[in-house]
Amino acid sequence: MKNKRVLLGMSGGVDSSVSALLLQKQGYEVIGTTLELFVGSSCCNIDTYIDAKNVCNSLGIPHFTYNYKKEFREHIINDFVACYANCKTPNPCIECNKYMKFGVMYEKAKELGCNYIATGHYARTEYSDKYNRWVLKKSNAGKKDQSYVLWSIPKDIIGHVIFPLAEYADKEEIRKIARENNLNVANKPDSEDICFVPDGNYKRFLEENSDIRPKVGNIVTSRGDILGKHKGLYNYTIGQRRGLGIAYKTPLFVLGFNKVKNEVIVGEEKELYKTEVMVNDINLLLVDRIDKPVEVDVKLRYSAKFAKAVILQENENNIKITFNEPQRAVTPGQSAVFYIDDIVFGGGKIINFS
């Protein structure tokens, strides 16, 4: 008989709780786990552990917690700090998926004799005859689809990943299932913030967890004209208009940064639009290497619309993206994710643009 034992990552929320129920109904032997990642975070605190364990108890399945605080700091917190220290805007959820939920959790699953891991993400995996491999795809959840934040997971484990919520398009459907099955997390609100910055104040987090401190410098135009002073480069994001504290004849936006000169560079909105983008730290899920230009749809941030583009791999770790139409506020540190139809082709981290 095929090994149907699955290790399910549980955050104590309604998505992962209903995932446990659905997997159980599909005949899987479910083991629930909550990873201890960061003290005080929204996804691994005492309430999280209690809610997840209570759901598992109600379903009659085991639940374990495992301490991975050291690994979380090494791979996620340190990367978060390093990005801001180098004028980049990180997406820590993507790093967490790569190293924690689909990294150490998969290794733990193998230790426990599980052939699968599962999470409450809105995404889909299936075998593609066309590509002769397991593929990661969009779910039916529309705007709530989370395939964007999963592009960096190792491609060799996709065939061992289950997303029980792949077919559901409406979060209220999930809550209804939870209520009908008396799961006590049915009305628990979603967590929208970075888990280790639950109050949303990432600037304070950086100052309290690193040696990053405000360092006053000049706000300059793209021509080098000095317009005012900034309060530290990490306090600003590309595309920002408000809170610059400068006056000018036309609205100005943050275009980028000069770390060496400690400058915030501003300009008119038309200067925010870029056609060519370079990414590194790439992960290709459909092919091992791009040997010729490929037409794809690209997402530059989780909430962004898809944009038509051509991608070409320039070396082992760099891909050049050329968009059909210029894109606004391209941000180094964020992820560019490539799709062909509803399949995730791969992705990379933005390093520069022109």
What's the CA gap between 330 and 353, in Å, rounded? Answer: 7
Q: Annotated catalytic, 195?
A: yes
Judge whether 118 and 7 are in contact, CB under 8 Å. Answer: yes
3-state secondary structure the chain: CCCCEEEEECCCCHHHHHHHHHHHHCCCEEEEEEEECCCCCCCCCHHHHHHHHHHHHHHCCCEEEEECHHHHHHHHHHHHHHHHHCCCCCCHHHHHHHHHHHHHHHHHHHHCCCCEEECCCCCEEEEECCCCEEEEECCCCHHHCCHHHHCCCCHHHHHHEECCCCCCCCHHHHHHHHHHCCCCCCCCCCCCCCCCCCCCCHHHHHHHHCCCCCCCEEEEECCCCEEEEECCHHHCCCCCCCCCCCCCCCCCEEEEEECCCCEEEEECHHHHEEEEEEEEEEEECCCCCCCCCEEEEEECCCCCCCEEEEEEEEECCEEEEEEEEEEECCCCCCEEEEEECCEEEEEEEEEEEC
Q: Which of 43, 93, 114, 195 is catalytic?
A: 195
Active-site residue, 83 included: no
The residue from 43, 44, 96, 114 that is catalytic is: 96
- Catalytic residues, which ones? 96, 195
